[in-house]
């Protein structure tokens, strides 16, 4: 019995087979683990290490470098308010102050119910809609205080489930073609495999890799950390 | 297209609601460029790109064709697309990723054919969830359509393309850090030389790293010819380019403009573009090409959006992002926020960058809050000079990558252009804009 679901492990192996070196799949598979758990649990790190063929310490060492890979629990909704230059010129720090009051936490913290983590974020490339923010990587822009309150209310009520999957779900589209499992003796690199890369038109999408299936679009896993422990982030506290 | 009669090259579809779908793409000439490229020899395709003299749109502005020609001869060559757009105030590539992913894939396939790539990796910034979803979806469709994979569009050319999500680190926009990240490691820039991944890149193999916008230009160039592209713009700044305008303007956004024909004044004030400054305030300063670039003053507003012209004036067109500050903007606070960004994003390998950024940020924050001393302005300049000796642009290198030496740009600009205003903070013990 693995911690990561069988489907996740199978897809992780498919990702490994896409790259000339297995370790290249490390970060994509970390995203998958976060899709299931909302953060990178130690058990997941162990299994990622096994799939990729490195030590758990190496997975942790890589993951801890990156802002989007959470080695401690994060809220179900990670609200990242950009305060960089363009958003700052549009009042982002006022918005962040307001968000701290609304959620009752400081930037870098997580609400006691585990629902929200608030971040003082760097530029997220939404500058034409400043001040902007992301919730779990999904954009919201030109926000007034009232609109922020409404956003929080809607998230709490689950009304934005379609638009904002639980934290950790990066990509709701699975690669459904061009997959060949290394275990099956093939290789994703064309020219080195005897197996056809694309499924024939009669076999339908998602068959080459076995697991993918583009119909599998919805988010899986709870994704919520359910903890009051604030996520310790690399230099993400508010000044 | 505003102001000149130049065609829209990379944004021709984004007006359509369904611009990202295969149906819309095919209905508007999609994959015709790839089809034409496959009817040519790889050398002929490269020649067209050289004729176009397409400059890289990522920030450094290096000619794409020359990058390709520098590839070391080897059995395995990789193409990596840099979609890690994270230079603050740059928001053009995410538009192309979200609104026209098939155009990117077509461009990628043309480039892969031209350089004979064994495999292609499209590295997309991890924060761009929608962009990653759209490109992944488009790639699935492109495989089904036959534009990617084995025997592309019925030809003998085969190549596999992989969408690779980043995980949140500005430094991964630096191409050697990106390659490290793509190899599943921390995003530490590699020591130079070798200066170009064309010699030693991904897994030690020769690799071309090109920007998303650069790739998105290729279908048009192949279809219309390099000469038609080179006929647009002026001098070495050919074609059109996406400019991302933000800050204190009425109409921030991404605009595709003919290179070297439009001025910063047009971009900021023209009704069809920036439409002037909010509340009719006065222009105070502007950043011409991302926060790494030294600032310009209002008397430089007639300068053209021209790589050479901006370079000669001591800054850069960089990532094509223009940030407007008006009379209500505190220059010190702007410099502080930019420095804070570099401090957060320093990878920590090199002492001048890791330590310098933190101490600069702390000092700026103190002065901003009225706790600074006059001599600290000179100290700031001295620290900046340690990071980038001479404070010229492009900067002298003191670190593995250019992040560290970019830190002084905003600080030196603020001190040189607004010294008196900074001193008010010291004398009055508070920020006059607060």
Find the residue in B nearest to A180 (Cα): B160
pLDDT at res. A193: 38
Domain count for chain B, please give it: 3
**CATH code, domain with B29:** 3.40.50.11540
Q: How far is A221 from chain B (nearest CA, A)?
A: 18
Same domain, B68 and B186: yes
Name the residue facing A62 among B129, B159, B185 (closest C-beta): B185
Same domain, B342 and B315: no
Q: In percent, how much of chain A has pLDDT > 90?
A: 73
Same domain, B271 and B360: no
Q: What angle do CA B408, B411, B417 make, to 5 degrees?
A: 125
pLDDT digits (tens, 9 = 90+) for B189-215: 999 999 899 999 999 999 999 999 999
Same domain, B274 and B393: no
Same domain, B382 and B271: no
- Out of B208, B230, B252, pick the residue that ends a domain: B230
B6 belongs to a structural domain: no
Q: Are strands B240-247 and A133-135 parallel, antiparallel or unpaired?
A: unpaired
Same domain, B358 and B405: yes
Q: In percent, how much of chain A has pLDDT > 70?
A: 74
Same domain, B335 and B294: no
Other residues' Cβ atoms within 10 Å of the Cβ of residue B1: 16
Q: Chain A contacts of B341, Cβ < 8 Å?
A: 84-85, 122-123
| Inter-chain CB proximity B87 and A123 less than 8 Å | yes
Domains of chain A (ranges plus CATH)? 6-63 (1.10.10.1590), 77-156 (3.40.30.10)
| Inter-chain CB proximity A173 and B137 less than 8 Å | yes
**CATH code, domain with B274:** 3.10.20.600
Same domain, B158 and B127: yes
Same domain, B39 and B108: yes
Same domain, B304 and B347: no
Band (A219; pLDDT cuts 50, 70, 90):
very low
Band (A1; pLDDT cuts 50, 70, 90):
confident
Mean pLDDT over residues A76-88, rounded? 98
| Inter-chain CB proximity B126 and A170 less than 8 Å | yes
B78 belongs to a structural domain: yes
- Out of B278, B310, B326, pick the residue that ends a domain: B326
pLDDT at res. A179: 59
pLDDT above 50: residue A220: no
* pLDDT profile of chain B (434 residues), mean per 10: 81 97 98 98 97 93 93 94 96 97 98 97 98 98 96 96 97 97 98 94 97 98 98 94 98 96 97 98 97 98 96 95 98 98 98 97 98 97 97 96 97 98 98 95
Half-sphere exposure of residue B231, counting CA atoms within 13 Å on the CB side? Answer: 9
| Inter-chain CB proximity A89 and B329 less than 8 Å | yes
| Inter-chain CB proximity B130 and A139 less than 8 Å | yes
Range of the domain at B297: 233-326
B15 belongs to a structural domain: no
CB contact B181 to A (< 8 Å):
yes
pLDDT digits (tens, 9 = 90+) for A105-155: 999 999 999 999 999 999 999 999 999 999 999 999 999 999 999 999 999
A105-132 burial code (b ≥16 CB/10 A, e <16): bebbbbbeebbbbbbbbbbbbbbbbbbb
Name the residue facing A89 among B129, B149, B248 (closest C-beta): B248
ipTM: 0.96
B140 belongs to a structural domain: yes
Q: What angle do CA B101, B106, B111 make, to 5 degrees?
A: 125
pLDDT digits (tens, 9 = 90+) for A156-206: 999 999 999 999 999 999 998 875 533 333 344 443 333 434 333 333 333
Same domain, B308 and B335: no
Same domain, B226 and B237: no
pLDDT at res. B5: 87
More confident residue, B60 or A225: B60
Residue appearing with tokens 């192309």: B96
- Out of B207, B230, B253, pick the residue that ends a domain: B230
**CATH code, domain with B383:** 1.20.1440.230
Find the residue in B nearest to A167 (Cα): B129
């Amino acid at each position: 019995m693995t911690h990561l679901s069988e489907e996740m492990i199978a897809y992780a192996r498919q990702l490994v087979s896409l790259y000339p070196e297995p370790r290249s799949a490390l970060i994509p598979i970390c995203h998958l683990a976060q899709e299931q758990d909302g953060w990178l649990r130690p058990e997941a790190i162990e299994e990622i290490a096994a799939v990729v063929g490195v030590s758990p310490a190496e997975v942790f060492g890589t993951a801890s470098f990156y802002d989007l890979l959470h080695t401690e629990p994060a809220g179900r909704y990670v609200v990242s308010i950009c305060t960089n230059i363009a958003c700052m010129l549009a009042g982002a720090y006022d918005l962040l102050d307001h968000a701290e009051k609304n959620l009752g936490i400081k930037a870098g913290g997580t609400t006691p119910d585990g629902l929200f983590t608030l971040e003082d974020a760097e530029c997220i490339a939404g500058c034409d809609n400043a001040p902007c923010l992301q919730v779990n990587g999904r954009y919201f822009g030109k926000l007034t205080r009232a609109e922020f309150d409404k956003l929080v209310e809607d998230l709490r009520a689950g009304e934005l489930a379609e638009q904002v999957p639980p934290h950790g779900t990066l990509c709701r589209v699975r690669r459904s073609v061009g997959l060949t499992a290394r275990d099956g003796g093939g290789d994703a690199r064309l020219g080195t495999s005897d197996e056809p890369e694309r499924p024939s038109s009669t076999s339908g999408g998602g068959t080459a890799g076995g697991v993918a299936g583009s119909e599998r679009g919805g988010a899986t896993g709870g994704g919520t950390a359910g903890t009051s422990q604030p996520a310790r982030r690399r230099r993400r506290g508010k000044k | 297209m505003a102001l000149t009669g130049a065609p829209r090259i990379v944004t021709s579809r984004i007006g359509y609601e369904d611009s990202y779908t295969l149906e819309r793409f095919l209905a508007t000439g999609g994959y015709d460029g790839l089809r034409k490229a496959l009817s040519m020899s790889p050398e002929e395709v490269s020649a067209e790109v050289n004729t176009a003299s397409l400059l890289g749109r990522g920030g450094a502005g290096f000619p794409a064709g020359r990058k390709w020609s520098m590839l070391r001869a080897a059995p395995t060559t990789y193409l990596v697309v840099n979609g890690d757009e994270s230079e603050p105030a740059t928001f053009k590539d995410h538009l192309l990723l979200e609104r026209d992913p098939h155009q990117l894939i077509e461009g990628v396939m043309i480039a892969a054919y031209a350089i004979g790539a064994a495999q292609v990796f499209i590295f997309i910034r991890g924060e761009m969830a929608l962009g990653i979803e759209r490109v992944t979806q488009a790639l699935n469709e492109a495989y089904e359509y036959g534009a990617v994979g084995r025997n592309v569009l019925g030809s003998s050319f085969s190549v596999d393309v992989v969408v690779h999500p980043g995980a949140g680190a500005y430094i991964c926009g630096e191409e050697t850090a990106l390659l490290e990240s793509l190899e599943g490691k921390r995003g530490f820039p590699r020591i130079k030389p070798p200066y170009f991944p064309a010699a030693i890149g991904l897994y030690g193999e020769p690799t071309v790293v090109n920007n998303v916008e650069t790739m998105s230009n290729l279908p048009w160039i192949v279809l219309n010819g390099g000469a038609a592209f080179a006929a647009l713009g002026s001098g070495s700044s050919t074609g059109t380019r996406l400019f991302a305008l933000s800050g204190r303007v009425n109409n921030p956004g991404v605009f595709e403009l003919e290179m070297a024909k439009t001025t910063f004044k047009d971009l900021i004030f023209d009704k069809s573009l920036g439409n002037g400054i909010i509340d009719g305030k006065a222009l105070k300063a502007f950043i011409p090409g991302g926060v790494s670039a030294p600032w310009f003053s209002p008397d430089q507003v007639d300068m053209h959006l021209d790589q050479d012209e901006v370079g000669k004036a001591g800054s850069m067109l960089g990532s094509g992002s223009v940030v407007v500050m008006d009379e209500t903007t505190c220059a010190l606070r702007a410099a502080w926020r930019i420095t804070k960004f570099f401090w957060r994003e320093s990878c920590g390998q090199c002492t001048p960058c890791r330590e310098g950024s933190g101490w600069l940020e702390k000092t700026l924050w103190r002065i901003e809050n009225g706790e600074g001393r006059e001599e600290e302005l000179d100290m700031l300049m001295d620290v900046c000079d340690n990071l980038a000796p001479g404070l010229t642009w492009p900067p002298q290198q003191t670190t593995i990558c250019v992040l560290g030496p970019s830190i002084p740009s905003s600080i030196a600009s603020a001190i040189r252009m607004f010294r008196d205003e900074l001193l008010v903070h010291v004398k009055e013990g508070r920020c006059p804009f607060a």
